[in-house]
Structure 1
Amino acid sequence: MKILKFGGKSLSNGDGLNKVVSIIEDKVNKGEEIAVVVSARGNATDDLEAILGVAAVNGDYKTLLEKFKAYQQSTYTDVDLAAEFTILEKLYEGVSLIGDYSAKIKDQIFSQGELLSAKLLTAILVKKGITAQFTDARNLLKTDSKFGDAQPLDQLSKKNVVQYFKEHKGIVNIITGFIGSNSKNETTTLGRNGSNYTASLLANYLNATELQNYTHVDGIYTANPDLVSDAKKIDHLTFNEANELANFGATILHAKTIIPLLEKNIPLRILNTFNHENNGTLITSNPSKEGIKTLSVLENVALVNLEGRGLLGKTGVDARIFRVMGDNDISVSIISQGSSERGIGLVVAADKATKAMIELEKEFENDFYSKDVNKISVTDDVSVISIIGQDLSTFHQPYTALIRNKIVPILFNNTVTGKNVSLVVQKSELTKALNVIHGEIFGVSKKINIAIFGHGLVGGTLINQILESADAIEKRKGVKLNIFAIANSSSVLLNKNGISPNWKNEIQNNGVIYTMKDIIAYANEHHLANLIAVDNTASAAFVENYITLAENGFDLISSNKVANTLSYDFYKELRATLEKNQKNYLYETNVGAGLPLIDTIKLLHLSGENITKIKGVFSGTLSYLFNNFSAKDVPFSDILKEAIDNGYTEPDPREDLCGNDVGRKLLILARELDLQNEFEEVQIQNLIPEHLREGSVADFLTKLKEFDPIYNKIKSEQQPNHVLRYIGELSGDLQNDKGNLEVKLVSVPMDTALGGLKGSDSFFEIYTESYGDRPIVIQGAGAGSAVTARGVFGDILRISDKG
């Protein structure tokens, strides 16, 4: 025999009830021997409790009761449910008159939900030609008299069940879950979710081959699919794992359900009423492969904290705490403490927390006077996440991922076996914490949520590069890149699921005015984890957001050089904030576009290598200008105009020609070597004649020929076989706080590496103590939106790989 159990959502009006009837019909037609246990239909138990609350304060309960009756009867007007409705009417009337009710009355009221459900389903099946019989579990399951949470009297209940089924063979018995009766035949209930318990008891007593629990999901998942969209169905669990799940909040299982099945080694299969072709999750005694199975959540709990320096080395504290809890019928799901017993945390049901605190204060009253106990307090709005199957040897991975995402667990503990770790977190952080842990430990792609600021040449190219490569990166690296925000100085486009290739039109049509607080709030509201902010602007104002972003969980990536060239005090403050919040800040493209220059210098410096000098061509624009001017017999203005026309320069070419950009890049490298130089200390040779430095861009562009006599003279005065290069040079005693930073136009032999530079390449020489006179040379494309965007993309992937 198989026991089928259907939950309230499965039995709801419409598709649910129709599916249940179809499943039972199918099994009967296949000749399977079955018995069916039912819960109350829909939200019946919650509805009955709500009506009870209204009746107890002499409210208008009758309107609510009529609504309840209408739902339960639904379109099945030929099914006689009058007896149950009459009982409810009388009970509620009595409660309304008295203004109060007992646990016994509450059980009588609640039991009607299951009775109505079983009667209706039986009538529908009989009408379909199935030999079905309504079975009132109160005649079978005898319990103690603890109303609301009654315990079955095992031997008597078993005898009743075996005898009943012996007398009713060949019939599909439709049995009420959740309810029983005491020795006086008074109705009792087995506690919330007790229908599962009823089903497992019947399976045990009848030696069933399998208990099939039909719900509204396909089985047990690696996490609650309502909270974690990437959750996967688990095909097989052991009873021990299922028991851990039940104890730590998995609503699909009742903690007491497992034991009767385990005693007889009866498999439990969790199935979906609405997709019954699915094989669901099978729970047996047979162990499956090792490893983390699922994340379970315990909500509606509170943390009771007992603190006291005087408890150091004092024995018997735990015994006193548990005696208080036991005497007051308060269950403790987690206890966590240090070996010193200076701080003890207890996780209890939220509605029992205040009582727990009051009773503990009474118990430790004398300890307060002696100052052994300093404080007993309650932390509300917390949740427990249990990682079922988590081994402490790998616990650092999910824990580190939480810290990276600004989620600091209040406490954690593990079972004696070390195969289940539980974390207490703020309830507001539950969804984000679940997704972070799930993404870290299961075989799903880790989602990286990216906000991109600035969508001009570099930013727009980067966005398109990410969209084009995202699928391949997810397959290759298990990282899902999700651009959830694109912003310029005035508006932002937001989409938690990621922007589309049509983002340019969407930001025009759907972009909204924003502040940085709005983007941070959006990320928090949608529980977005693994956040990265990418600055592709050239804005000094935007840099002011860096510290706020880091404090709110964002790693930073920037092609904007401003942040690293502001005052040294800001430079230090930003890095202190990054360190405090364990956030990364990558800016490889600040110098040399996509060339691996900053990473190389960082690595050399970190390894203790003494860098003695850095010299090179830092500007792709100026590289193009002087490479071509040196190689061609044409005026300087012609080369400059060519660079402007090809878009190699800034809209105002004086921003390139003044040398400040090279100076900023040189300063960035100096600070990587822990030098405390300020921008004002960089000696910069301005390439613009003094009389052309002011005025409008348009006016400047009409006077380009005024460069020619100056630069023709410089070119002609060189030694033979020499060429012009505009370089940055960092030198001096680099072991001190400051170095010599100089940006200048130099003449170098044509047959040197620097002299042989072509196109718009950047070129860097790094001199170190170990390498002596032979520098490390880095050369390559130093300009262009595609190259810079690819460098920023590389920084995104570096951060994605961390942890």
Structure 2
Amino acid sequence: MKILKFGGKSLANGKGIEAVINIIENKVKNREDITVVLSARGNATDELEEILDKAVKNQEYQGQLEAFKEYQASDFSGVDFTKEFETLDKLFEGVSLLGDYSKRIKDQILSQGEVISAKLITQILKEKNIKAHFTDSRELIITDGQFGDAQPLDKLSKENVINHFQKYNGDTVNIVTGFIASNTKNETTTLGRNGSNYTASLLANYLEAEELQSFTHVNGIYTANPDLVPEAKKIEKLSFTEANELAYFGANILHAKTIIPLIEKNIPLRILNTFDHENQGTLITGEASEKGIKSLSVLENVALINLEGRGLLGRVGVDARIFKALANKNISVSIISQGSSERGIGFVVEADKAKEAKSILEQEFESDFYKRDVSGITIEEAVSVISIIGQDLSTFHKPYNALIKNQVVPLLFNNTVTGKNVSLVVRKEQLHRALNVIHGEIFEISKKINVAIFGHGLVGGTLVDQILKSREQIESRKKIKLNIFAIANSSKILLNANGVDQNWKNDITKKGVSYTINEVIKFADDNHLENLIAIDNTASQKFTENYISLVESGFDLVSSNKVANTLSFDFYKKIRIKLEENQKQYLYETNVGAGLPLIDTIKLLHLSGENITRIKGVFSGSLSYLFNTFSVEERPFSEVLQEAIDKGYTEPDPREDLCGNDVGRKLLILARELDLSNEFEDINIHNLIPEPLRKGESKEFLEKLTELDKVYEKVKQEQNPDHVLRYIGDLWGDLSQEKGNLDVKLVSVPKSSALGQVKGSDSIFEIYTESYGDQPIVIQGAGAGAAVTARGVFGDILRLAERG
């Protein structure tokens, strides 16, 4: 025989009822020997509790009760629910008049949901000429006298079940009410919430069934709740031990008590989807499955209680007093953690028992409060418990560090004696993000990186296209899933929690909305996005004012915008302090040298204790092209400059390049990487623009380019033989002091030197150190261009993704 159990969602009106009937009908046609156990239909139990709550408060409940009846009876005119509905009317009326009810009355009320469900399915099957027998489990399962969570009396119950099935067997399908039972006085009791599973497993045990099939609305047990973790995967097979752990730690698809009767007789349990007949579900057996982490379970509707007191340090018996006092009032405790320096005990109880638990403990420790041995008993109400089933404590640092990186700080955690399960208490508003972060770390799935890109001009737009083009390959190779959830310019933003696609340019025009940075942060929070990175591809000083808010809200930063690193030294240090406080990172390799690995190299040398004595080089790809070409070709300076403008090497107003400020900012960034406290005002900058041409509109300047020819032809002619012109940045002096010397200037260098051999728009950097002496470390390559810069930003994103 197989026991089939159907949950409330499977029995909802419409497709639910149809699917359940089809499953039973097909098994009967295939001559399978089956017994069916049913929950109340839809949300019947919750609705009855809500109506009860209204009735006891003397609130209007009749409307909701009539709606309940309508739902249960609609489309099923052939079934007579008069007895059940009259029972409900009578009980609710009595509760309303008295303003009170007992657990016995509550069990009588809640039992009607299962009775209605079983009567309905029995009648529908009979109408299809299937022999079905309505079986009231109150005549089978006998329990102790505890209402609300009764315990079965096995000997009596087993005798009743065996006798019943000897009478109704063969081709008769018994349709059994789950959840409900009766005590020895023939009073209705219930087996606790989700007790229908327990009813089914008891029948399986007593009848020594071949298999228990539990039909739900999902395809089985998953590595996490798919509603909370979209990346969750179905588990094909579990052992009873693992299933028991999952049930204990809150997997709502299982009932902790369900497993035990099955273990006793080694009866397999299969979790199946009522609405997907092709899926084989999750099979739970006595066989040990492969080792490793199996699932994340969640306990909600819980509260965390903390008891603290310096005077309790080293005091024997404090724990026993806590748990005994609570046990005497039937309050169960789970997830316990103790402090050591200042005596503290934290533990989890059901949310609706938290205030009562606090009151009990205040009475128990009244004298300790008076002596000031106990300093306080507090309740954290909005919390949830995440349990990682199968988590070895030796590898727990990975998910824990990922949580901290995403600004989820567990309030409490503990592990089992075996060291194979770890439980965390987190704030309820962080539950969704915490689950996704942990799941991404411990299962072999791609780690999701959520990216917001501010600025989609040449560099930003190229970056978006590079990411969209490469993300599938990166996910396949690196197990990193890049998700661009925001693209913004100065006025509009395109937001999509599931990521933008190749139509982003058109979408931002049509669907873009105005925004503030706080709205972007809220969007990330509301959608529980983890592993956040903000990319600044603007050239805006105003946008840098958002950096600290972003960092405090859990974003790492990547920037091609040089402004933040060249503002006041106080601001520079403030950002670093905030980064450290929030354990976030800020990468900006493209601030100097576009995609060249310059800043990382200097950081590594400086961190290792290498004494850097000088850094000099050609910092600007635009000016590199200008003077490389002018130095070797017999052409006027204005003609070469116009060519650089036409090729897009310079800014639209080339004075922004020629004034030297851009090179100065880059040089200042390198100085600050060496912990020098220089300000921009400390830089000696040779402005390449003659004084009369520095003011006025860009158009006027472009019309007067030929006025530069005499100036630079003279400079060119005054050089020594075999020399060329280079516009360089030079950081020098005693760099172990508070400040260094920073010069930006036009120099003449031998053609044969490293600086003299630079071609095209390449940049070159010479790093002199104490160890390397006169032989500098040379870094050379493309120093300009949207594609190169975007690729450098892309590299910073991937570095952050892999470090996290």
Aligned ranges for residues 58-207 of structure 1 at < 5 Å? Answer: 58-170=58-170, 171-207=172-208
After TM superposition, the score normalised by the length of structure 1 is 0.99
Pairs aligned (count): 803
**Does 2:620 align with 1:619?**
yes
What residue in structure 1 maps to residue 435 of structure 2? 434
Please list the CA deviations of residues 402-447 of structure 1 after superposition, one character each: whole Å capped at 9, or x if unmatched.
0000110101000101111000000011101111111111122111
Q: Measure, in 2, the Cα distance between the counterparts of 1:569 and 1:62.
A: 68
Offset of residue 341 of structure 1: 7.1
Please list the CA deviations of residues 732-775 of structure 1 after superposition, one character each: whole Å capped at 9, or x if unmatched.
11122211111111111112221111110001111112222111
Residues 3, 341 of structure 1: alpha-carbon distance in 2 compared, 3 angstrom cutoff: farther
Aligned ranges for residues 248-647 of structure 1 at < 5 Å? Answer: 248-339=249-340, 342-647=343-648
Q: Measure, in 2, the Cα distance between the counterparts of 1:325 and 1:521.
A: 40
Q: Measure, in 1, the Cα distance between the counterparts of 2:240 and 2:323.
A: 28
What residue in structure 1 maps to residue 788 of structure 2? 787
**What's the secondary structure of 2:142's corresponding residue?**
coil
Q: Measure, in 1, the Cα distance between the counterparts of 2:65 and 2:579.
A: 59
Offset of residue 679 of structure 1: 1.0
Offset of residue 339 of structure 1: 4.5
Q: Measure, in 2, the Cα distance between the counterparts of 1:719 and 1:64.
A: 98
Offset of residue 642 of structure 1: 1.0
What residue in structure 1 maps to residue 716 of structure 2? 715
C-alpha contact (below 8 Å) 1:310/1:371 kept by paired residues: yes
Please list the CA deviations of residues 244-296 of structure 1 after superposition, one character each: whole Å capped at 9, or x if unmatched.
21122211111111111111111111100001221111111211111111100
**What's the secondary structure of 1:460's corresponding residue?**
helix
Q: Measure, in 2, the Cα distance between the counterparts of 1:225 and 1:247.
A: 19
Letter matched to residue 254 of structure 1: H
Q: Measure, in 2, the Cα distance between the counterparts of 1:55 and 1:797.
A: 59
Percent sequence identity is: 71
C-alpha contact (below 8 Å) 1:313/1:341 kept by paired residues: no
**Does 2:777 align with 1:766?**
no
Q: Measure, in 2, the Cα distance between the counterparts of 1:792 and 1:54.
A: 60
Q: Measure, in 2, the Cα distance between the counterparts of 1:59 and 1:396.
A: 52
**What's the secondary structure of 1:744's corresponding residue?**
strand
Offset of residue 567 of structure 1: 1.1
Offset of residue 58 of structure 1: 3.7
What residue in structure 1 maps to residue 680 of structure 2? 679
**What's the secondary structure of 1:512's corresponding residue?**
coil
Aligned ranges for residues 658-737 of structure 1 at < 5 Å? Answer: 658-737=659-738
Q: Measure, in 1, the Cα distance between the counterparts of 2:657 and 2:554.
A: 35
**What's the secondary structure of 1:266's corresponding residue?**
coil
Aligned ranges for residues 220-231 of structure 1 at < 5 Å? Answer: 220-231=221-232
Offset of residue 74 of structure 1: 1.9
What residue in structure 2 maps to residue 11 of structure 1? 11
Letter matched to residue 138 of structure 1: R
What residue in structure 2 maps to residue 36 of structure 1? 36
Letter matched to residue 30 of structure 1: N
Q: Measure, in 2, the Cα distance between the counterparts of 1:724 and 1:796.
A: 36
Letter matched to residue 73 of structure 1: A
Q: Measure, in 2, the Cα distance between the counterparts of 1:502 and 1:592.
A: 31
Q: Measure, in 2, the Cα distance between the counterparts of 1:404 and 1:243.
A: 32
**What's the secondary structure of 1:676's corresponding residue?**
coil
C-alpha contact (below 8 Å) 1:55/1:93 kept by paired residues: yes
Offset of residue 304 of structure 1: 0.7
Offset of residue 648 of structure 1: 1.0
Name stretches of at least 5 consecutive residues in structure 2 with no aligned partner: none
Q: Measure, in 1, the Cα distance between the counterparts of 2:672 and 2:607.
A: 13
Offset of residue 153 of structure 1: 0.7
**What's the secondary structure of 1:788's corresponding residue?**
helix
After TM superposition, the score normalised by the length of structure 2 is 0.99
Q: Measure, in 1, the Cα distance between the counterparts of 2:579 and 2:386.
A: 28
C-alpha contact (below 8 Å) 1:84/1:112 kept by paired residues: yes
Letter matched to residue 179 of structure 2: F
Letter matched to residue 345 of structure 2: I
Q: Measure, in 2, the Cα distance between the counterparts of 1:228 and 1:146.
A: 38
Offset of residue 644 of structure 1: 1.2
Letter matched to residue 161 of structure 1: V
Q: Measure, in 1, the Cα distance between the counterparts of 2:628 and 2:714.
A: 17
**What's the secondary structure of 1:513's corresponding residue?**
coil
Identify the range of structure 1 (36-45 vs 240-249) with the bigger mean alpha-carbon deviation: 240-249
Q: Measure, in 2, the Cα distance between the counterparts of 1:290 and 1:249.
A: 21
Q: Measure, in 2, the Cα distance between the counterparts of 1:774 and 1:506.
A: 53
**What's the secondary structure of 1:764's corresponding residue?**
strand
Please list the CA deviations of residues 204-232 of structure 1 after superposition, one character each: whole Å capped at 9, or x if unmatched.
11111111100000001111111111111
Q: Measure, in 1, the Cα distance between the counterparts of 2:559 and 2:728.
A: 24
**What's the secondary structure of 1:707's corresponding residue?**
helix
Q: Measure, in 2, the Cα distance between the counterparts of 1:266 and 1:341.
A: 49
C-alpha contact (below 8 Å) 1:559/1:792 kept by paired residues: yes
Q: Measure, in 1, the Cα distance between the counterparts of 2:58 and 2:572.
A: 67
Residues 589, 189 of structure 1: alpha-carbon distance in 2 compared, 3 angstrom cutoff: same
Q: Measure, in 2, the Cα distance between the counterparts of 1:55 and 1:620.
A: 79
C-alpha contact (below 8 Å) 1:311/1:340 kept by paired residues: no
Please list the CA deviations of residues 621-654 of structure 1 after superposition, one character each: whole Å capped at 9, or x if unmatched.
0000000001110110111111112211111111
Residues 334, 505 of structure 1: alpha-carbon distance in 2 compared, 3 angstrom cutoff: same
Offset of residue 340 of structure 1: 5.8
C-alpha contact (below 8 Å) 1:203/1:266 kept by paired residues: yes
What residue in structure 2 maps to residue 213 of structure 1? 214
Offset of residue 93 of structure 1: 2.5
Q: Measure, in 2, the Cα distance between the counterparts of 1:328 and 1:53.
A: 23
Q: Measure, in 2, the Cα distance between the counterparts of 1:548 and 1:274.
A: 46
Q: Measure, in 2, the Cα distance between the counterparts of 1:56 and 1:718.
A: 100
Superposed CA RMSD in Å reads 1.1
C-alpha contact (below 8 Å) 1:143/1:152 kept by paired residues: yes
Offset of residue 139 of structure 1: 0.6
Please list the CA deviations of residues 310-344 of structure 1 after superposition, one character each: whole Å capped at 9, or x if unmatched.
11111100100011110111111211102467010
Q: Measure, in 2, the Cα distance between the counterparts of 1:620 and 1:71.
A: 74
Q: Measure, in 2, the Cα distance between the counterparts of 1:340 and 1:709.
A: 78
Q: Measure, in 1, the Cα distance between the counterparts of 2:738 and 2:53.
A: 74
Q: Measure, in 1, the Cα distance between the counterparts of 2:116 and 2:95.
A: 21
Identify the range of structure 1 (71-80 vs 136-145) with the bigger mean alpha-carbon deviation: 71-80
Q: Measure, in 2, the Cα distance between the counterparts of 1:567 and 1:97.
A: 74
